[in-house]
Structures are given as structure tokens and as C-alpha cells.
Chain A
Amino acid sequence: MAVAAGVPTPQVEPENPLTAGLERVPVAPTTLVIFGATGDLARRKLLPALYNLAHDGALPQRFHLIGIARKEKAHEDYRAECAEAIRRFSRRKPEDEVLTALLENVRYIPGTFDDESVYTKLAKTLDEFEQIAGEPLNRAFYLATAPNFFPVIVEQLGESKLAHHEGAAVRLIVEKPFGTSLAEARELNRRVLGIFDETQVFRIDHYLGKETVQNMLAFRFANGMFEPFWNRNYIDSVQITAAEDIGVGTRADYYDQAGALRDLIQNHMLQVLCHVAMEPPVSFTAEEVRNEKVKVLESVPQPTPEQVPEIAVRAQYAAGHAGGEDVPGYLEEDRVPPDSTTETYAALRLEVDNWRWAGVPFYLRTGKRLARKVTEIAVTLKPVPHLAFSQQGSLGVLPNQLVLTLQPNEGVSLRLGAKIPGTRMVIRPVNMEFLYGTAFLSQSPEAYERLITDAMRGDAMLFTRNDEVEAQWRICDPIVSTWARMPGPLPKYPAGSQGPPEGEQILREGDHWRAI
């Protein structure tokens, strides 16, 4: 093709032929800046993840870490805190030499997030690292703070000219929650995208970093056998459950502001729903996969306030028994207001109004202090059109059910009807089970190890795009606001139980919740 005179030919960077065959793709030299560097998330998740990446030799060739938090302390003290957190929370016992090598390149900047001087010091430290490296380093700003600081930090980064950097990529990693309502999410997006380009923004939903969630895409799109029945013609209903057996624990301050709907359904469970319902992407790229997920979210009708009681149920756990012990109810937990109307259980019935799924109910259920910990997707098929066998003397012929368990025992189970051995044709349901853990030798990395690496590489596949976040809030917002207008007290369920009886009210006639 002729090139017009005067039009510069874009420079195409050559491929790196040395990366072929390597399991780990190189990550460009990077300085990671953690805002909220002394907080729980940093100590429990981020620092241990960074150590494990270092242990595996998976950090970039040049890697520097800058921690920013309010308290005044010296670099050495912060390094000692990092080492303590890693020793305490790492999935493997750290090796002293590796830990020392990692911490050599750690710096600490004290100050409040609205303080301009913090950003001046940050810019200076970033420049120093580049002087040491002799090359521009990519920059990744990780917002591991309370959400009210997100806009402040983003705007300060913008004003300090730190949102872009000549010759290197600058990325912003934002923890959940991304807003507490649709209006807040939109406003936060507006402020973030006023400074950063969407391609620079990596919104964390740590569920997406779990191997188990990623496996759902492999399960659906690498196996031809499921696609023929993966539609309204064969599927009767879908149940997505994320049950916890623990109470609110030490998270009461956060949890009482959020509740079960915001904590799990608005983000993680809607992402799981997308993985179940999405169309096969044209290619397995971040944009194509996220495009398909957004289409699913946009196909879910936004409930009206009048519809909310019909499709959504909330409740709180009362005192009960868990693990053989008496446990308090939510309102008796430490730091929970005695008149709190925050839900610890939420269940929804949603529809995905498109050609594939019209008429199929998607039930979402989550709660604390339920009978056991399990996260699963149960896809129930329609019953056979005609049953030639007598039901007499049998436990009944039940529709096939495909259950994808995400935790604790990741696997796939298919309920089938089978003949009970004997002279009579009597059928009972049996399970054909597959457990992922039995079929692989490798250990799954922690979600944060994968997500930090992907963000540093600029791979957005496992992060939530701005339109996805807003589409998720569009579904949940009317429920949140309707519930906010309804007075308490909330329905109760005993700790350690299957949840409130009210949960049955949103089910279509003939449907039942699976036993947790």
C-alpha cells in the first residue's frame, strides 16, 4: 500500500521472540505505589502477594515499592512492618534472602492523601528510582484506602502531573467498592476518567482473579457438549449461591455500611452471573470479554421500586449455633448498632432478557452465618418431557442439575437419574463428580498475585470496566434505595441455618433453593 507523502509511518515495535514457550510473560520494570500502605488489605493481601511473586521470580526485572500512609515512620520501620506482615500472612514461609532482596527497594512516604507535599515527595522518589534504574519505569498506583479517598488521590495525582509519564505506562488500580450507588459510581468514574484514560484504570474485583471463576470460561467455551443446552429451551433455572458460615467478625465498621447486597451481589455475584450467561466472545481479549459481560448486564431489567419486594429478600442473622458453638446474632456483634437495618442475607430473582435466556430465572443468594461455606452455580435443566418409568418405590426422577462449585471444593457435579440395582426399574438421582483439585498438579496462585501481575502488565481482562460497574449498579441501585426507605426490623434467620423462610417468597412456583 502506498504511503501518503508527509504522513509518518507508525513505528511498529518488533515482537520479543524470547518470550515464546515461557509460562510467565515478562512484566515491564515497574514502581508500585500503595496508598493505604499500612492498612489491612496491604498487610494481609498485597504485601504477601508481592513476596510470593518475588519468591517465584515473577516480579519485574526492576521492581520498586512505595508505601504511603498517614503515620510518620522511617523507611526502615516500614520495611520491618512489611516483613512482619509477609511472615504472618504469606501462603508460604518466606526465605530471608528473598525477603531482604524484595525489601531493599521499598520506601515509605508519610502524609495525608490530600496533602500536596506527599505527591511532591512521591514524584521525587519515583524520579530517584528512575535515576537508579537509568530508564523510565512504569508506575502503578494502587488505591488500597477507604473509598472516600479515591477521588482525592486521583485528583492529587492529576494535579501533580503523575497521571502520565513520558516513555512509560501509568496505571491506576482501584479497590472495591467502586461507589455505593449508581450516582456515586458515575461520579467516581467521571472524576477518575477526568484524569486517567480508561485503559489506565484497573478496577479490582478479586473474584475475577480466582482460578475458579476463570475456569468457568474454560468450562463453557472449551467444551462443545454444554453449548447445545445452554439456553432457555433446556435450562429451567440458575441458582448462584455465595454462603459464608462466619459472622461479621472484625469487619463490622465496613459491613454495617455495606450489607450483603453491596458487599457481594453488586460486584462478585453479578460477575459470576455474567460468566454463566454471556455469549462466546469473538476472541479472548479484555475488550471482547468485557463487551460480552456488559451485554448481559444490560439485558437484566432494572427493577422498579414496586417490583423489589417480589424479586428481592433481605434478612439478618439472629443468635444460633455454628461449629457446635453458640454464636451471637448480628445486632449483638461488636461495633454493630443495636438498631441496624443492614442485611446479612440477600437473595434476588433476576431475568436476563435476551434471546438465549428469556424466561429463565437467575436466583442469587448470599449471606453470613449460614449452614456452611460454599460458592456454587447450580444450573437446573428442564425435566424430561415424558417419563416411561414408574415413580413408585423410587426417590423420584429429578431434573438433571449441573453444579459448578467455586469453593471450597472446586469442581463440577452432574445429577443424573440411575437405576437402583435390583429386579425392578426404580430410579434415583446420583451425582457424577469431577474435582479440579484431583486433575492438576499445580497450585492456584492467590487472586491478588494474579491481579497485581496483570495490572502491571496492562492486561485488563480480569478487571471491571467503567460501563460494567455502572451496569451492575443500575441493577442493584433500585433495590438498595427501596430497602433504605423500608423500616426495620428485618426478617431474622438463626445463625447456622439455611437462611430465612422469606427467601422462598421470590422463587417461581415449584422452584426450591438448593440446600446450602
Chain B
Amino acid sequence: MADRTDAVWSATGTTPDAIEAALRELLIERHAENNKFAPARALNMIVFVDREWSGEIANRLRGVGRYHASRLIVLAYEPRRERLDARVTIAAEGDPDTDEVTLLRETVVIDVGDRHLDDLITIADPLVVTDLPTLLWSPHGHEDIVQELLALSQAVLLDSVDEPVAREALNRVCGLTERAYVVDLAWLRSIPWRERVAGAFDPPRLRRELRMITSVEVRHHQDSPVTAMLLGGWLASRLGWRTSPLVGHGAALVGKAHGERQDVTLRLQAAPEMTVRGLEGVTIETASGRLLRLDRGEGGLHAHARDPRGELREWTIPGASRGEAGILGEGIRQALLRDPTYIPAVTAARAMLP
């Protein structure tokens, strides 16, 4: 629902030119209304959704807060639709009656049907802000549409966890990386874990132990084996391990990675009690007898450490959970960055596929 600071335009049976003209006109009106209004110009985002689920996607996007794309173009697909209907909203972020500039975020929702799919690019193209990076997201699949709209996009957002089969998820990523930068929400869910594992071995006297790792166990939501594989793939690619196919063992995938000095036992264990996507915990052991176990907990990660003398310690590393809305927002933000470690992690993870 529009609030008092939103400007709205809508039309039925419209054209991309008319929509673009309406956007321009609304922006001029808003600026004339108050010169503290300034359009955000960081990122375009094109979202292709099935119209019947577009409300759910809209809710998810509302949750990203300040990470809302500057111009969001939602193409809502309804197979038998004949005409283009569109609604443009320009929302103000904050109160214009202050000294601060008030950012304007633009959202364009266009209802499209089968007859528009062949020329979808000609509908979206006039609406993206020239020279801004464009992020593409198609949360309901539609691979053929993604391939077409990639011509307009520099980055594509996906969630490897959405693919029921890990092999297909990782293969899809590899296919897409040839054409665009991939932002994978499954990978972003592992950020706090990667940061803490990197931090645990960062003190200079512990860095040598990275070459002495003998086993890694990653515990994950039962629908998120890909996130666990990506974490394992990240360790393997950063530490120079050669990975090989894991084998199923009950609710786990187990196998070996081959390090310079020794083999590393890998275990990706589903945690059926876990209710949110992502990782539940990780345990790393080294040849010196050191053990680090990190578990999701209240107020942060619970750390359990055993040093080579066998002394045990437990503590909490503070940190707030980002939640799924936070992860999606992070995905949008990451479209403006480049993480050089993702593709090597995917490559190593693919080699672990059973």
C-alpha cells in the first residue's frame, strides 16, 4: 500500500515508452514538490515472477529495507495475459522536512503474458537506468527468460538452495558465470561462518595449522546441502585441497579431500532439527589435536575449542542473525561487489558431488 510520501501512476494496456515517460514525469514532480528528494542511482533490479506469487516476492523485497534497488522492475508473468498493465511507485525513504536528502526508490510492476515473452527484453530495456549495474532475479525458475534477460544484466541473483538437486544447482551456477556475475544467497548464508573460521586461524601462530587440518564437519539445514558444500569447497579452494566425490551415509555425505600433507575427512551432516535455511555448525580438527566447533546459538555463534593439550573452552561470539530478509538484502548489495573466492569454491564443491 502506498504511504503519504509515495507517488503512484498506473495504466492498463500501456507501453514501455509510456511507463518510462510516467517515471520521468513523476520524478520531476517529486523534485519540484521538494528539492530534498533525489532519486537513488545505485542499482537496477529486474525481477521475473509468476504473477500468482508476486505478492510473496513483493513482501520479501519490502523486507530488504535500505538495500532496495534504486529502480526495481518487476515483470509479473500471467500466461494468458494479452495486454501490458503497469504500476509505477516512487517511494521516499525518510522525511523530506529535514536537512538530509531524501532518497527516492522507484518500483515498476508490469503484468506480462505469453505473447510478450519473446520480446521481453524490449519491455525491460527502456526502463533500466542507463549506466547503472543491473541485477536479475527470477525466483521461480524460468531459465529461458533468465537467459534472454541476461543481455541486460551484469549480475544475477539466485539461491542454490532452491534447486532440489545439488548437482543441478552447481551446474546452473557454472553456466551463468560465463555470462554474468552470480550472487548466490546460499553462499552469502555462509559469510559469518567463513569470517569466523578465517578469524580463528588468523593469529600468526595458528596459520600454520591451516595446513594441518584433518577433518571438517559441516552441519546444515536438510534443504541446504549446497551451502555446506560451498563452505567445504571454499576451504578446499583456499587451502589447495583436491576434492573428490562424497558418498551418502545416512543423513550425511562423507568423503576425503586431499591436502598437500594429508587427507582431510569431510562430512556434510543434515541437521533435521534446524528450522531455517543455511548452516547449523562447523567443526574443524587439526593434526596437532586442536579442535574448533562453531554452532548457531542465541546472540551469536557458540564456540567450543580444544587446544593441543586437550584443554576445552567454550564462549559466545556475539552477532545478530540476519534472517532471510537480511540475506536477500545482502544479495542485492553484493551485486555491486565482486567476490573472487566464490567460483573456486563452486568448482571445488562440484568435484564433491556424489
Q: Check B313 against A134 for contact (C-beta < 8 Å).
A: yes
Q: Does A295 contact B (CB under 8 A)?
A: no
Q: Does A21 contact B (CB under 8 A)?
A: yes
Q: Check A441 against B336 for contact (C-beta < 8 Å).
A: yes
> Which of B205-235 touch A at CB < 8 Å?
207-208, 210, 235
Least CB separation from B235: chain A residue: A18
Q: Check A27 against B199 for contact (C-beta < 8 Å).
A: yes
Across-interface contacts of A22 in B (CB, < 8 A)? 191, 194-195, 198
Q: Check A18 against B197 for contact (C-beta < 8 Å).
A: yes
Q: Check A439 against B299 for contact (C-beta < 8 Å).
A: no
Q: Does B340 contact A (CB under 8 A)?
A: yes
Residue of B41, B235, B313, B319 near A438 (CB, 8 A) is: B41
Across-interface contacts of A63 in B (CB, < 8 A)? 318
Q: Does B201 contact A (CB under 8 A)?
A: yes
- Which stretch (A71-79, A100-108, A304-312, A388-396) binds chain B? A100-108
Q: Check A19 against B202 for contact (C-beta < 8 Å).
A: yes
Q: Does A98 contact B (CB under 8 A)?
A: yes
Q: Check B319 against A98 for contact (C-beta < 8 Å).
A: yes
Q: Check B195 against A408 for contact (C-beta < 8 Å).
A: no
- From known contacts A16-B210, A61-B196, A134-B311, infer whether A21 and B300 are also in contact, taking CB-CB under 8 Å: no
Q: What is the CB-to-nearest-CB distance from B39 to chain A, in angstroms, rounded to a whole number?
A: 7
- From known contacts A18-B238, A20-B341, A135-B203, infer whether A61 and B316 are also in contact, taking CB-CB under 8 Å: no
Q: Does B266 contact A (CB under 8 A)?
A: no
Residue of A24, A29, A96, A435 near B38 (CB, 8 A) is: A435
Q: Does A26 contact B (CB under 8 A)?
A: yes
Q: Does B17 contact A (CB under 8 A)?
A: no
In the complex the two chains form, what is the Cα distance from A105 to B341 in whole Å?
34
Q: Does B25 contact A (CB under 8 A)?
A: no
In the complex the two chains form, what is the Cα distance from A437 to B41 in whole Å?
9
Across-interface contacts of B191 in A (CB, < 8 A)? 22
Least CB separation from A19: chain B residue: B198
Across-interface contacts of A373 in B (CB, < 8 A)? 99
Q: What is the CB-to-nearest-CB distance from B181 to chain A, in angstroms, rounded to a whole number?
A: 13
- Which stretch (A49-57, A212-220, A489-497) binds chain B? A49-57
> Which of A434-452 touch B at CB < 8 Å?
435, 437-443
Residue of B100, B333, B339 near A441 (CB, 8 A) is: B333
The number of residues on chain A lying at the interface, defined by a beta carbon within 8 Å of a beta carbon of chain B, is: 51
Q: Does B70 contact A (CB under 8 A)?
A: yes
Q: Check B195 against A26 for contact (C-beta < 8 Å).
A: yes
Q: Check B42 against A26 for contact (C-beta < 8 Å).
A: no
Q: Check B318 against A59 for contact (C-beta < 8 Å).
A: yes
In the complex the two chains form, what is the Cα distance from A473 to B196 in whole Å?
43
Q: Check B339 against A98 for contact (C-beta < 8 Å).
A: no
Least CB separation from A436: chain B residue: B101
Residue of B42, B67, B239, B315 near A439 (CB, 8 A) is: B42
Please encode chain B, from 296 to 324, with 1 for each CB lying within 8 Å of some chain A CB and 0 for all others: 00111001010100010101111110000
Q: What is the CB-to-nearest-CB distance from A325 to chain B, in angstroms, rounded to a whole number?
A: 17
In the complex the two chains form, what is the Cα distance from A98 to B321 in whole Å?
9
Main secondary structure of the interface of B (DSSP, over half): mixed
Residue of A16, A56, A105, A442 near B207 (CB, 8 A) is: A16
Q: Check A18 against B201 for contact (C-beta < 8 Å).
A: yes
- From known contacts A134-B313, A409-B100, A438-B40, infer whether A13 and B204 are also in contact, taking CB-CB under 8 Å: yes
Across-interface contacts of B320 in A (CB, < 8 A)? 55-57, 95, 97-98
- From known contacts A57-B195, A438-B38, infer whether A98 and B300 are also in contact, taking CB-CB under 8 Å: yes
Q: What is the CB-to-nearest-CB distance from A51 to chain B, in angstroms, rounded to a whole number?
A: 9
In the complex the two chains form, what is the Cα distance from A441 to B70 in whole Å?
9
Across-interface contacts of B38 in A (CB, < 8 A)? 435, 437-438
Q: Check A104 against B300 for contact (C-beta < 8 Å).
A: no
Q: Check B239 against A61 for contact (C-beta < 8 Å).
A: no
Please encode chain B, from 29 to 43, with 1 for each CB lying within 8 Å of some chain A CB and 0 for all others: 000000000111111
Q: What is the CB-to-nearest-CB distance from A411 to chain B, in angstroms, rounded to a whole number?
A: 8
Across-interface contacts of B11 in A (CB, < 8 A)? none
Q: Does B192 contact A (CB under 8 A)?
A: yes
Q: Does A183 contact B (CB under 8 A)?
A: no
Q: Does A328 contact B (CB under 8 A)?
A: no
Please encode chain B, from 160 to 193, with 1 for each CB lying within 8 Å of some chain A CB and 0 for all others: 0000000000000000000000000000000110
Q: Check B333 against A101 for contact (C-beta < 8 Å).
A: no
Q: Does A193 contact B (CB under 8 A)?
A: no
Q: What is the CB-to-nearest-CB distance from B36 to chain A, in angstroms, rounded to a whole number?
A: 9
Across-interface contacts of B39 in A (CB, < 8 A)? 438
Q: Does B270 contact A (CB under 8 A)?
A: no
In the complex the two chains form, what is the Cα distance from A450 to B52 in whole Å?
45
Across-interface contacts of A443 in B (CB, < 8 A)? 66
Please encode chain A, from 333 to 374, with 1 for each CB lying within 8 Å of some chain B CB and 0 for all others: 000000000000000000000000000000000000000110
Q: Does A222 contact B (CB under 8 A)?
A: no
Q: Does B332 contact A (CB under 8 A)?
A: yes
Across-interface contacts of B299 in A (CB, < 8 A)? 95-101
Q: Does A510 contact B (CB under 8 A)?
A: no
- From known contacts A16-B202, A134-B311, A441-B333, infer whether A57 and B317 are also in contact, taking CB-CB under 8 Å: yes
Q: What is the CB-to-nearest-CB distance from A66 to chain B, in angstroms, rounded to a whole number?
A: 17
Please encode chain B, from 79 to 111, with 1 for each CB lying within 8 Å of some chain A CB and 0 for all others: 000000000000000000001110100000000
Q: Does B151 contact A (CB under 8 A)?
A: no
Q: Check B210 against A18 for contact (C-beta < 8 Å).
A: yes
Q: Does B21 contact A (CB under 8 A)?
A: no
Q: Check A134 against B100 for contact (C-beta < 8 Å).
A: no
Q: What is the CB-to-nearest-CB distance from B257 to chain A, in angstroms, rounded to a whole number?
A: 15
Across-interface contacts of A135 in B (CB, < 8 A)? 203
Q: Does A228 contact B (CB under 8 A)?
A: no
Q: What is the CB-to-nearest-CB distance from A244 to chain B, in angstroms, rounded to a whole number?
A: 12
In the complex the two chains form, what is the Cα distance from A62 to B191 in whole Å?
18
Q: Check B194 against A18 for contact (C-beta < 8 Å).
A: yes
Q: Does A28 contact B (CB under 8 A)?
A: yes
Q: Check A441 against B332 for contact (C-beta < 8 Å).
A: yes
In the complex the two chains form, what is the Cα distance from A382 to B319 in whole Å?
53
Residue of A96, A101, A441 near B300 (CB, 8 A) is: A101
Q: Does B200 contact A (CB under 8 A)?
A: yes
Which of A17, A134, A135 has the most chain B CB atoms inside 10 A of its CB? Answer: A17
Q: Does A425 contact B (CB under 8 A)?
A: no
Residue of B40, B101, B194 near A409 (CB, 8 A) is: B101
Q: What is the CB-to-nearest-CB distance from A55 to chain B, in angstroms, rounded to a whole number?
A: 5
In the complex the two chains form, what is the Cα distance from A18 to B316 in whole Å?
22
Q: What is the CB-to-nearest-CB distance from A478 to chain B, in angstroms, rounded to a whole number?
A: 36
Q: Does A500 contact B (CB under 8 A)?
A: no
> Which of A21-71 touch B at CB < 8 Å?
21-24, 26-29, 54-57, 59-63
5 contacts between A and B (CB under 8 A): A13-B204, A61-B317, A98-B299, A435-B101, A443-B66
Q: A62-B315, A133-B313, A441-B43 are in contact. List 8 more A-B contacts (CB 8 A).
A: A16-B202, A16-B210, A18-B197, A97-B320, A98-B320, A437-B40, A437-B101, A441-B67
7 closest cross-chain pairs (CB), A and B: A57-B319, A97-B299, A21-B341, A26-B199, A101-B299, A18-B198, A54-B318
Q: Please give the residue numbers on chain B whose beta carbons come within 8 Å of chain A beta carbons, in ascending order.
A: 38-43, 66-67, 70, 99-101, 103, 191-192, 194-204, 207-208, 210, 235, 238-239, 298-300, 303, 305, 307, 311, 313, 315-320, 332-333, 336-337, 339-342
Q: Please give the residue numbers on chain A whose beta carbons come within 8 Å of chain B beta carbons, in ascending order.
A: 13-24, 26-29, 54-57, 59-63, 95-102, 104-105, 132-135, 372-373, 408-409, 435, 437-443
